[in-house]
Amino acid sequence: APPVLLPLPTAPASACLLLMLLALPLAAPSCPMLCTCYSSPPTVSCQANNFSSVPLSLPPSTQRLFLQNNLIRTLRPGTFGSNLLTLWLFSNNLSTIYPGTFRHLQALEELDLGDNRHLRSLEPDTFQGLERLQSLHLYRCQLSSLPGNIFRGLVSLQYLYLQENSLLHLQDDLFADLANLSHLFLHGNRLRLLTEHVFRGLGSLDRLLLHGNRLQGVHRAAFRGLSRLTILYLFNNSLASLPGEALADLPSLEFLRLNANPWACDCRARPLWAWFQRARVSSSDVTCAPPRSARAETCARSARPTSRRVRPRHPRGRAAAPAATAPPTTCTGWPRPGAPRRLLGGYGGEDQRGEQTCPGAACQAPPDSRGPALSAGLPSPLLCLLLLVPHHL
Ligand SMILES: *[C@@H]1O[C@H](CO)[C@@H](O)[C@H](O)[C@H]1NC(C)=O
Ligand SMILES: *[C@@H]1O[C@H](CO)[C@@H](O)[C@H](O)[C@H]1NC(C)=O
Ligand SMILES: *[C@@H]1O[C@H](CO)[C@@H](O)[C@H](O)[C@H]1NC(C)=O
Ligand SMILES: *[C@@H]1O[C@H](CO)[C@@H](O)[C@H](O)[C@H]1NC(C)=O
């Protein structure tokens, strides 16, 4: 029997098939509707679309995913591909992040969950396995507490933004694995106490912002081990005193802001004053509230601010011995009532300059005038400028 010849495709048809086969691997992965996609690096940008959930068909090769300014409410496991390096979800309406949502994102370097005001709480293992994560943004999420192990294993983390939440308390060793952390922003929370081991493990920390909390107490060892800290902001808190030992544990400190606290101008000021005498930092003015009593006022009025100019020096120039000043046992150097308040506020104190106006300012309160510090209600507040060392960068 003659062989059956299968009909060959006609020439134009076979060329067409070949073209289709060639084209398939080159076809661009589909871009979700209303999003914009870029190929290098693979990026999907879906911001400001009022999305109520994450788009379903995300190209698996996506490395950067921008979903900010939507109305996304929940995040679930299986949503995100493991190639992600950058994931922005800030300014959504997240209230629930199910456990395991980020578990397979082992390449992730930046995760921004900030400004999600219904988030309120996080599961303990939310960030488990993110060993490459460098920046974690959790600001303005109305978080009132954090699970004690939430940051476990984030060994690459350098920037942790927790400001403007409602945090009341930080557990000891909350940051224990964050040996690479450089920036820790905790301002604008409701913290009252800094306990002994709260910052343990933060040997690379460069700046610690704690202003705008309700701090009343700082454990004398709270800053131990922060050997590279250069910036510490404690302004706008409720501190009447601060243990000098706590600051003495900060050998690299350059910029300190302590203003807007109800500092007491009595014996409680002595440890801080003693530290200031030795320290080489640029500090905001420290205004303290003396006990309201005839003797204290007389003391303050008769004192002369023995104003003295100190040679400007670079803040790193800590080698020279500090100038000797009067010990804090007498009421020397109190500025007269009504002296200008020099309170500094906000973030960005790196370039502040000033001059020393009042070398010997802490004052042992007369025995009969000890009482609660009065910062409010004094018509012209008595000022107690502890120290302001100049520097020129
Ligand atoms: C999102 O919703 C707001 C308020 O309803 C509306 O003004 C805005 O145009 C919407 N944006 C988009 C991209 O649909
Ligand atoms: C945001 O989420 C909250 C609760 O999670 C809900 O009550 C609110 O309506 C949501 N807002 C918008 C604009 O979807
Ligand atoms: C810590 O940071 C340094 C330099 O910034 C980097 O070389 C090192 O790999 C980091 N360590 C980890 C565990 O990421
Ligand atoms: C002080 O901090 C509180 C938050 O604790 C904030 O509401 C207030 O505006 C801050 N005050 C100043 C003068 O910065």
DSSP 78-122: TSS-TT-SEEE--SS---EE-TTTTTT-TT--EEE--S-TT----
Q: Which ligand is nearest to the CA of 181?
A: 3
Pocket test for ligand 2, best of 118, 121, 142 (most atoms within 8 A of CB): 118
Closest CA to 342 of 383, 297, 292: 383
Burial class (CB in 10 A: 0-12, 13-18, 19+), 255: buried
Longest dimension (CA), the chain: 129
pLDDT single digits (tens) 82-130: 999 999 999 999 999 999 999 999 999 999 999 999 999 999 999 999 9
The DSSP output letter for 267 is G
Query: Element (H or E) spanning 278, and its range?
Result: helix 270-278
Handedness of CA 367, 371, 377, 383 (dihedral sign): positive
pLDDT single digits (tens) 312-364: 233 333 333 333 333 333 233 333 333 322 322 222 222 222 222 222 333 33
- Per DSSP, the three-state class of 279 is coil
DSSP 280-336: --EE----EE---SHHHHHHHHH----------B-TT---SPPPP---TTS--SPPP
List CB contacts of 364: < 8 A, sequence separation 6 or more: 266, 267, 270, 328, 329, 330, 331
Closest CA to 232 of 210, 216, 259: 210
The answer, yes or no, to whether residue 277 has pLDDT greater than 60, is yes
CATH number of 174-261: 3.80.10.10
- What's the whole-number mean pLDDT along residues 183-196? 98
| Spatial separation of the C-alpha atoms in residues 41 and 19, rounded to whole Å | 27
Superfamily, domain 32-166: Ribonuclease Inhibitor (3.80.10.10)
The answer, yes or no, to whether residue 375 has pLDDT greater than 80, is no
Asked whether the beta carbons of 333 and 305 are under 8 A apart, the reply is yes
pTM to 2 decimal places:
0.75
* pLDDT range class, residue 291, cuts 50, 70, 90: low
Of residues 308 and 26, the one with the higher pLDDT is 26
- Contacts of range 50-56, beta carbons closer than 8 Å, 24 or more positions apart: 54/79, 54/80, 56/32
Task: Determine whether the shortest distance from the Cβ of 74 to ligand 2 is under 6 A.
Answer: no
- What's the whole-number mean pLDDT along residues 2-20? 49
List CB contacts of 243: < 8 A, sequence separation 6 or more: 218, 219, 220, 271, 272
Ligand 4 site residues (CB inside 6 A) read: 188, 212-213, 236, 345
Pocket test for ligand 1, best of 36, 47, 50, 70 (most atoms within 8 A of CB): 50
Pocket test for ligand 4, best of 236, 238, 343, 347 (most atoms within 8 A of CB): 236
The reply to whether 32-166 and 174-261 are identical in fold is yes
- What's the whole-number mean pLDDT along residues 160-173? 98
Residue-wise over 142-172: b if at least 16 C-beta within 10 A, else e? Answer: ebebbeebbbbbbebbbebbbbbbebeebbe
Q: Domain limits of the chain?
A: 32-166, 174-261, 288-317+328-338+349-393
- Per DSSP, the three-state class of 252 is coil
- What's the whole-number mean pLDDT along residues 69-82? 96
Ligand 1 site residues (CB inside 6 A) read: 48-50
| Spatial separation of the C-alpha atoms in residues 135 and 103, rounded to whole Å | 16
Q: Which ligand is nearest to the CA of 71?
A: 2
